[in-house]
Structure 1
Amino acid sequence: MFISFARLQVYFLVALLLIAVVYPLYLFGTVMGLDGFDLRRVGADFYQFLLASRLAVSGNAAQLYDFSWFYNEVQRNVADGSGFYAWVHPPSMLVFLVPISGLTYLQAYTVWMGMGGLLSFAVAFSRRAPIRAVTFFIFAPATLVNLFYGQSGMLAGGFLYGGLRLMDRHPAWAGVLLGCVSIKPELFMLIPIILIAHRSIIALCACVATVAFLVDASAVFFGSGLWWIYLETVPSLVTTVMAQGEGSFLYLIPSAFGAMRSLGFSATAGYMVQLPVTIIAFAVTFWLFAREREPVARNLAVTLCVLLATPFLFLWDYAVLSPALYLYATRTGLFDDDMNTPLMEPVLLFAVYLLPIVNIALAAHGFPVGPIFTALALLAVVVRMIDAERTQASLVDDEGEGDNSVPDDRDGDEELGTT
């Protein structure tokens, strides 16, 4: 069947119109009104990051983990504040927040989101990408969700994919970038498996050194006891929130755990379903890096594994997928109008692409599709990768005994092996 990302983009444009134009107009007309407009309604979650940066600079970082005080402070400063606000990030996150501490809300929001967006786009940059691929990346639903909530998914995505893309050519820099992912521990779970399976001592040492530097720097500048406070308070809070959260909060969690909780099951049942998914994600990740594989497909597959592995996953975290999906679609030709490709792969990848804006509505109606779409997309990528490897192996066998070498196309993962 003739189908491609280029043709599927019409659905994305419709979704973009609804989210970027219709929904803001609805909010402005029915909730805000002409007298109630406040810039802090845009990216309301970002106020937590700005408050954290100011407390860190003023020497009061420990107040971040006084959850009652922090919640009341955010409620007081966010227009019509509502929902759950708590600082659950590790102290190492504060190292990246210091530069915005002296800015106004709008300035800080622009710098923070711009820094994440530029990093995410830079690590996926390709001279061969058509213009429609660029718009596909910039206006990705995950990008819009991060802008709407003011979250850090794009920054984490830049660190993660940058590290994965540099793994083969610049292991030291890869280790540094992967070490920076530790500011979001839920996305850092698979990094040790990746480095161990890849057997890159340089990358592993650089990663460990980066994590140690962030821990030491946050302890020195923001208080030596801050990490103990974090370890004593945050794990128990997160466990309680995941067990007792309800309503629309659960629709923001597209993990297997979140799917079970949104269907009305207990936290225990959610963890029982999440555990095998996490184990499979760990196993697939080790398999992907245990031997040399085509880097673009491998990096997309492992990014999907990162999203599947953690129960504490939110929709804005899908921004880590944007660079990997963007480069994969560019390399495989899924952006080309004349690309004749099997039906399922582009449909599944596009479903994951749209997930940040459709999961809430579907989960609210009893269809939490996040982990299902993500797992099926992983399966499609792995199947394509295996088929490509088998075809390449058969071509090598057909060459006979004269020359059994395979051309080395590892110049910066600019080419994707095709069948």
Structure 2
Amino acid sequence: MGADFLRKMDWLGRDRAVAYLRIIAFLNVASLVLLVATSQDGVDANGFLLGSDFVSFWTVGHMLQDHGNVYDGAAHIAAQRKFFASSGGYTAFFYPPTFLPFCWPLGFLSYFPALVSWLLATSGIYVIAVRRWQAALRFDFPLWLLVLAFPAVPIVITHGQTSFMVAALLGLGALLVPGRPVIAGILFGLATIKPQFGILVPLVLLLTREWKVIASAAVTAFALALLSALAFGADTFAGWYAASGRAQVAMVEGAVGFGKMTSVFAGARLIGLTPGLAYGAQAAVGLATIILLIRAFRARPYSPALGALMLAAAPLVTPFVLDYDMVLLAFPLLWLTSRGIADGFRDWEKLALALAFIAPVFARPIGLHLGIPIMPLILGFLFWVLLRRYSAEAHPRAPIALQP
């Protein structure tokens, strides 16, 4: 009885799950409303600007309008502090030049209209991506409940981050590979604005010989880079390279905060390992993940199941990933839940689903205040459960071809 409580979790049926999701959704929405209601002039009770990370993108937009060098750290700090000077420092900008075309329109708006527009646009495409996965998997759950209850969602909103957009691009791309290879490639190419999450995409596409997707993604990434070079100058790539060095130093020294990050590297640093040992742990886990993926994908065609596994593995192979990036897990969580509903849940699957879903609420406070990195363990657990389910299905269902 005791062991089955977590191993099988038969007590967590649909009705109880819906009830829990409604409670969590209410708490998520209430926390956002309270945050805004208790803020003064757009600054919350803790002294942080609403959409704390977004100010970096907005500043870049205005600097581009003024033909400034966005990769000059001192210039970026000065431009940002003209609008808001935080006692806790400032929000740096380390995105590649391919992201600049997305920042440029923000320079036409004042801060809060730009923030609202950004969140509406990026959350909109994220909801579309979740809905497409839900429809393809024939997953009968209220869409609004799935989105509002996911604890990673309010974290993205409060930071004004890019995670909605990147997750949507990768998620839709992973779903559309079988039926819309050119569109899937375009989406993967656009997702290079945050390249650390696309490390596994070329590997998976090569293993499954999705040549159209590869070609489309390569052309899109090149076109986006060319657009940025023509619009903002080819020297921005040299500036980004130099900024990447500063980003590396910031990550190693914990400028972002290891408790906020969810990677193996950050977890190792959080418990006191040296940078060298932390990178070693990250490399070992990343390599093991890649080997397991290669073994699982061998001689199998591409399918949404494979795409779900690829997306679940993405946070395990990069050292730089934060809790708001966990919105990417929506797609593997949907796939695993739909398979469990269709064929029955296997041991530990419900526990992996529950932990991965709710962990963004607790990962940061536990990491920051207790120094315990729970997220890498949960991500590894989820990946193992997904891999076991995928590998056990010796003859995966035919790829889903989506209609226009």
Which interval holds the TM-score relative to the shorter structure?
Answer: 0.7 to 0.9
State which of 278, 284, 287 in structure 2 corresponds to 1:279: 287
Q: C-alpha separation between the residues in 2 aligned to 1:277 and 1:218?
A: 34
- Could you tell me whether the CA contact under 8 Å between 1:133 and 1:330 is conserved in 2? no
1:374 corresponds to which of 369, 376, 379 = 379
CA–CA distance in 2 between the matches of 1:219 and 1:73? 22
Q: CA deviation at 1:150?
A: 0.5
Whole-angstrom distance in 1 between the partners of 2:291 and 2:170: 19
Unaligned runs of 5+ in 2: 1-7
In structure 2, which of residues 328, 335, 349 is the aligned counterpart of residue 345 of structure 1?
349
1:75 and 1:81 in contact (8 A); partners too: no
Comparing 8-17 with 117-126, greater Cα deviation is found at 8-17
2:127 aligned with 1:106, yes or no? no
* CA-CA distance at 1:76 after TM superposition: 4.3
Mapping for residues 10-409 of structure 1, pairs under 5 Å: 10-11=19-20, 13-16=22-25, 18-21=27-30, 25=34, 32=39, 41-60=49-68, 62=69, 64-78=70-84, 80-124=86-130, 125=132, 126-127=134-135, 128-231=138-241, 233-245=242-254, 249-292=257-300, 295-330=303-338, 332-333=340-341, 341-363=345-367, 364-389=369-394, 409=398
Which TM-score applies when normalising by structure 1?
0.83
Work out the CA distance in 1 between the residues paired with 2:334 and 2:372. 27
* Identity within the alignment, %: 19
- Partner amino acid for 2:274? S
Shift of 1:104: 2.6
- Which runs of 5 or more structure 1 residues have no equivalent in the other structure? 394-407, 415-419
Which protein has the larger Cα radius of gyration, Structure 1 or Structure 2? 1
Stretch moving more, 71-80 or 302-311: 71-80
Q: Which amino acid aligns with 1:367?
A: I
Conserved 8 A contact 1:296-1:413: no
Where 1:333 maps in the other structure, the secondary structure is: helix
Do the aligned partners of residues 182 and 35 (structure 1) sit closer, same or farther apart at CA in structure 2, a change above 3 Å counting? closer
Identify which range, 215-224 or 71-80, moves more after superposition.
71-80
Query: Could you tell me how far apart the structure 1 residues matched to 2:268 and 2:43 are?
Result: 38
> Matched residues in 1 for 2:289 and 2:44: separation?
44
Moved more, 366-375 or 291-300: 291-300
Q: State the distance in 2 between where 1:36 and 1:117 align.
A: 22
- Tell me the distance in 2 between the aligned counterparts of 1:15 and 1:241: 34
Instruction: Report deviation, 1:253.
Output: 0.7
Match of 2:142, SS state, is: helix
1-side partners of 2:244 and 2:92: how far apart? 12
Residues 356, 102 of structure 1: alpha-carbon distance in 2 compared, 3 angstrom cutoff:
same
Deviation at residue 302 of structure 1 after TM alignment = 0.8
Residue 303 of structure 1 deviates from its aligned partner by 0.7
In structure 1, how many angstroms separate the alpha carbons of the residues matched to 2:189 and 2:42? Answer: 46
Per-residue deviation, 1:300 = 1.8
Measure how far apart 1:19 and its partner are: 5.0
1:347 aligned partner, one-letter code = L
**CA distance 1:81–1:195, shift in 2 (3 Å):** farther
Matches of 1:57 and 1:348 in 2, distance apart? 46
User: What is the aligned residue count?
Assistant: 388
